[in-house]
Structure 1
Amino acid sequence: MPTRIIQEPFEGETGDLELEAMPLDFVRLKERHTGVYLAETVQLIVEKFGVKNKICGIVTDNASNNKTMIDEIRKYKWPRFKGKGQWVRCFAHILNLIVQVILRPFGSHKKKASSTSRDQQGDSDDEDDPDDAEDQIELFNQEGGGGDEEDEDEPGNSTELAAELIADDEIELENDDVNELSDEEETDRYTSESCKKTLAKFRAIARKLNKSPNFKSLFVQICREKACSRPYNVERDVRTRWNSTLGQLTGICRCLAAIKISATEP
């Protein structure tokens, strides 16, 4: 759990304002990430460094356990922190949730499997790979909840958390919401279904490069022969890794000549 304090801007010799920031501590959380436990951990850090009089705001994502954490921290009566009015929801997290809604019709990702089905599937999905655990972003929604990261004692208010507004089937675009909206026709070259199938193929290529050393070696060799730009790889498109869809498409375009040849290999 990283905790960072941002100092107030100051005017240096050049006359320009500069914003200074520094990490205070990195804490390994040993218990379930409930809001109460998070609040207690933040309190320990704040007391350790004696900065409770300097806390003017707290920035988090929209997970429901953070809402509970803010409510609990308010009880500590820090002089400059009064609660929800100084709780800032990270705009980058909100924007990422919006992008995921836009990409949902293209179906580039499977829904996260339950613990039972994960045991049966093994490593069938990138999202369940151990190396993705540190990259996971806990998104709260009504269907899946927050998992172990969610505070069971307080499920949260659906009108208060931005993440909940984009739960499955909860937001739908209407004709009036989109300017110059056009329906898909049978003659369209690109449709949601065709894009969905194409992204699935791209994801299969990226996964094979990651899981098969022999295929990766052959792919790199072909990339060199075809003078593809570096790096000779296609990034995996993982739902919980920001911008990975763009990274995957960039890799496909960069190594397209090699992909056309390697796709014919067994």
Structure 2
Amino acid sequence: MSYTFKYTVMLYLIISIATLLTGCNKIGDEDPKITSGKNIRDAKRPIGASAREILSSSLFESIEVELQYMKGFEPTPELVDNIKLFLEELINKPGGIKVFLSSIEPLKKATYTLQDIREIEDTHRNAYNAGKKLGVYILFLDGYSSEDNNNSTTFALVHRNSSVAMFAKRIRERSDRIGHPPRSLLENTVARHELGHLMGLVNVGSGMQHTHEDPNHAGHCDSRDCLMFWAVESGSIFNLVQEGRIPTLDVNCRKDLKANGGI
């Protein structure tokens, strides 16, 4: 299974604005027995399997987030600090939170399949669980998702328990121009949304304290103002541009995280 953050251009808005969407695609889970030369078994579990490990200090007292990018597609400088601040508000890690950058050579592929993404991660990822430290990996790609079509294009996806893939080329195309949000704003919104899935939202590893999962969009909040809502609609895009505001987690999502070991 993977959760994707998508950007759909609606026909009646094609001249003026576009609509930022987030949806879910189901992809068969990976065989957990598959390994490579590195000890990556703990990083090959299903989405949500590390929710409590990320949130609480019972197993891991610190966390290391690796932002690995293909050269030429590095994240905005604001992302490093903002991810750290976002996690500090939600997770219980007395040993601290570290976010660092690493780079790899671009593959210059037009599109990337899920298998492509997993092979890149298995070859290049550095942040793995070690002792009391938990590793999270966010990969910035130089191409598009192979799942894109004329109606829907993908910004990012989560595909393992501690793995996020960001389609940086698509994010750059859909930002920093009239009618679209600044790149740092879009990038931070997408990254936070996907990290929310890794922390078990919604009902994907962090149990609901009150029912708030959108019945039509599994894994997402039913509150239209929440970071974990399935779609940030066109009006919300204008609000983001004008106010410079990243959507926040609503009270129900925060209660779920706290009940699963968060703060």
Q: Same fold (TM over 0.5)?
A: no
Normalised TM-score (structure 2): 0.24
More helix by share: 1
Q: Higher relative contact order by CA 8 Å / sep ≥ 6: 1 or 2?
A: 2
More strand by share: 2
Normalised TM-score (structure 1): 0.24
